């Protein structure tokens, strides 16, 4: 598998020109805060003083997890395929928010334990019907993991998006994400685990125990790709490949919650520059997410106590990205509006 080579979008000359444009708008210097940072970042990613968001898209990647055998989720595995049906019928939260914000939604089966048959609207990239239980062996073989990543890269090649958001669905995947987090960051398991879909304290400690056993079993997995195969999931690997290709194609990547960020942890371990293409939509209520973001040096746009996944935070953040490019394009300048500038 060829890992995409990324170039940094940083360009000192363009950055200075964007700063001048931003500072020339009719507002006290710096007063649009994070929106100014976003406008500059999107301009740099698109390599223009006039960035646009014309074709926003979100990929919702679904996969099942063998580790659910350890009793690590508050819901049964069948909810994964049932929610995929819900996405296809247009009734999930992500459908509502994507419709509200004019976002194209792509639903991907990367490894769900269900036969959907031939389903219009479903992107069938099933590598296998769920991962193996990583407490007993690797979640995926290296070949399966590479197949999921390559499928993610190839899928992004079919898209015309300028902003690409990520979402996921997979009962048990907060366990996989927490295991990846512990392995890739060295943060203690206790500080990586959380309640997921709603475990009680006993459930959370069962989850931590499963992860601790898995980290011992897979101690020989040392590279990011070995760790992804041992502990990850098909939807996580698919997103990791899709993020790397999206950055290579200079798309703005909108990161959602805990599981999406775990895919980015792997992508950033392979190609750190990918982070310069990322906007972090929100800080999830899942306990480890704040620490995961801190590890990446990332600042989330919003804190809404969300813990749903599906790309809902990414969809809700899109209006903020649009506000950033719109103020840059449409606000008057001090001279065009005859407004006096700051005292010297
Ligand atoms: O995005 C998040 O931060 C997030 C936090 C907690 C749960 N989820 C969703 O809940 C599911 C995984 O939870 P669990 O408890 O089954 O591991 C999966 O479908 C995720 O989309 C998502
Ligand atoms: C109902 C339900 C919807 C979800 N969407 C994302 N993860 C989910 C988990 C559950 C349980």
What's the N-to-C CA distance of the chain in angstroms?
A: 57
- Ligand minimally distant from the alpha carbon of residue 305: 1
Q: How many alpha carbons fall within 13 Å on the CB side of residue 211?
A: 29
Please tell me if the CB atom of residue 327 comes closer than 6 angstroms to any atom of ligand 2: no
- CB-CB neighbours of 223 under 10 Å: 10
Q: Let me know: does 311 contact 167? Beta carbons within 8 Å.
A: yes
* Interval between CA 298 and ligand 1 midpoint (Å): 20
- Ligand minimally distant from the alpha carbon of residue 178: 1
pTM for this entry: 0.99
**Nearest residue CA, atom 9 of ligand 2?**
197
pLDDT of the chain, 344 residues: tens digit per residue: 999 999 999 999 999 999 999 999 999 999 999 999 999 999 999 999 999 999 999 999 999 999 999 999 999 999 999 999 999 999 999 999 999 999 999 999 999 999 999 999 999 999 999 999 999 999 999 999 999 999 999 999 999 999 999 999 999 999 999 999 999 999 999 999 999 999 999 999 999 999 999 999 999 999 999 999 999 999 999 999 999 999 999 999 999 999 999 999 999 999 999 999 999 999 999 999 999 999 999 999 999 999 999 999 999 999 999 999 999 999 999 999 999 999 98
- Ligand minimally distant from the alpha carbon of residue 85: 2
Q: Which residues contact 36 (CB under 8 A, 6 or more apart)?
A: 22, 30, 324
Please tell me if the CB atom of residue 169 comes closer than 6 angstroms to any atom of ligand 2: yes
CA pair distance 248, 242, nearest whole angstrom = 10
Please tell me if the CB atom of residue 85 comes closer than 6 angstroms to any atom of ligand 2: no
DSSP code for 338: T
* Interval between CA 144 and ligand 2 midpoint (Å): 25
Write down all domains in the chain, each with its CATH number in brackets: 56-320 (3.40.50.10210)
Atom of ligand 1 nearest to the CA of 289: 3
Query: Is 310 marked active-site?
Result: yes
Please tell me if the CB atom of residue 256 comes closer than 6 angstroms to any atom of ligand 2: no
Give the three-class secondary structure for 170: coil
**DSSP characters over 250-271:** TPEEEE-SHHHHHHHHHHHHH-
Give the three-class secondary structure for 238: helix
Choose the catalytic residue: 150, 235, 286, 310. 310
């Amino acid at each position: 598998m060829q890992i995409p080579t990324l170039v940094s979008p940083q360009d000192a000359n363009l950055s200075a020109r964007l700063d001048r444009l931003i500072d020339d708008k009719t507002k006290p210097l710096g007063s649009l805060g994070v929106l100014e940072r976003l406008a500059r970042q999107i301009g740099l990613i698109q390599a223009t003083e006039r960035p646009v968001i014309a074709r926003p898209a979100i990929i919702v990647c679904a996969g099942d997890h063998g580790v659910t055998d350890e009793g690590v989720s508050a819901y049964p595995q069948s909810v994964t395929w049932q929610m995929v049906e819900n996405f296809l019928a247009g009734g999930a939260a992500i459908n509502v928010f994507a419709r509200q914000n004019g976002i194209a939604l792509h639903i991907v089966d990367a490894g769900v334990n269900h036969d959907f048959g031939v389903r219009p609207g479903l992107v069938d990239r099933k590598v296998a019907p769920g991962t193996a239980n990583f407490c007993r062996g690797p979640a995926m073989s290296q070949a399966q993991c590479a197949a999921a990543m390559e499928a993610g890269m190839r899928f992004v090649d079919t898209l015309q998006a300028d902003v690409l958001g990520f979402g996921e669905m997979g009962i048990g995947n907060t366990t996989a994400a927490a295991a990846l987090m512990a392995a890739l960051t060295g943060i203690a398991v206790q500080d990586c685990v959380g309640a997921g879909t709603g475990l009680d304290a006993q459930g959370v400690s069962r989850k931590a125990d499963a992860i601790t056993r898995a980290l011992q079993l897979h101690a020989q997995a040392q590279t990011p790709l070995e760790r992804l195969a041992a502990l990850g999931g098909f939807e996580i690997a698919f997103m990791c490949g899709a993020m790397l290709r999206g950055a290579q194609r200079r798309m703005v990547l909108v990161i959602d919650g805990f599981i999406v960020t775990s895919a980015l942890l792997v992508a950033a371990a392979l190609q750190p520059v990918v982070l310069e293409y990322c906007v972090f939509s929100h800080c999830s209520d899942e306990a480890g997410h704040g620490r995961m973001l801190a590890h990446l040096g990332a600042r989330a746009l919003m804190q809404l106590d969300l813990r749903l996944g599906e790309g809902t935070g990414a969809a809700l953040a899109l209006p903020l990205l649009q506000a950033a490019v719109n103020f840059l394009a449409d606000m008057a300048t001090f001279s065009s509006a005859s407004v006096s500038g700051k005292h010297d």
